[in-house]
Amino acid sequence: MKNVLRISALLTAALMVFIMIGCGGEEETTVVAPTLVSTSPAAGGEIAANGSITITFDKSMKSVTVNGTAATVSGKTAVWKSAAALTPGPVTLTIDGTSTDGGVLATATVALTAVVADTEAPDIVGDSCNPKNGAAGVDPATVSNIVIVFTEAMGSAKVASFEPTDAKVDSKLTDDKTLTISFLGGYKLGNEMEVKVTLSGSDKAGNALTTTAYSFATMKKEE
């Protein structure tokens, strides 16, 4: 009987040690709150009465509100446009949000100046593009990527179609007025090629891009 009690006591003690070790191994996970990295326009800048603001965070967001109304969220970026035109003059935008991992943004405010509504459509600045829009005789060895410049800050801009069709490309706005197109998979342009790009996009007030066609031709082979 004594042996049974001794064995039972040992088993109980071992079980308690196991439970203590198991509990000690569990650590609470602390969710880090997201941080507002930047806004476009930046604090102190101007926003058209019918314009929008682009907000960038340091982590992916689940939801973002500005002055209590929802923004459109895509990863670490949110774009907000007021349902009604802003009144020209000083305006303060209050930003709240929650990250995809449950972190809560510390309420942030951005002070801007609302100006007259923007009704002018954006366009391509052909001579500022690289290569220039419509250029001929371009040395393909000098084209590692394509840079397209616009007349004003864009709310969105992307490639709708690209020729040569066998080229795989990626595009992104590297700043408000510049769309950079990069070649994927080591693709390189050759001689006697015509590059044709169809674009789509709009400025921060929602005005659609006027010119959507961009092109250039590479030089002939040396004989």
Residue-range domains of the chain with CATH: 36-115 (2.60.40.1220), 126-218 (2.60.40.1220)
Q: What is the DSSP string of 198-215?
A: EEEEEETT-PBPS--EEE
Read off the pLDDT of residues 148-161 as tens digits, 9 standing for 90 and up.
999 999 999 999 99
Indicate whether 5 pLDDT > 70: no
Q: What is the CA radius of gyration of the chain?
A: 28
Indicate whether 8 pLDDT > 80: no
Tally the C-alpha atoms within 13 A of residue 162's C-alpha that lie toward its C-beta.
14
Q: To the nearest whole number, what is the mean pLDDT of the chain?
A: 90
Sequence-ordered list of residues with C-beta below 8 angstroms from that of 121, at least 6 positions apart, any chain? 203, 207, 208, 209, 210
| Region 120-147 average pLDDT | 97
Indicate whether 190 pLDDT > 70: yes
For residue 222, what pLDDT is reported? Answer: 73
Read off the pLDDT of residues 49-99 as tens digits, 9 standing for 90 and up.
999 999 999 999 999 999 999 999 999 999 999 989 999 999 999 999 999
For residue 3, what pLDDT is reported? Answer: 52
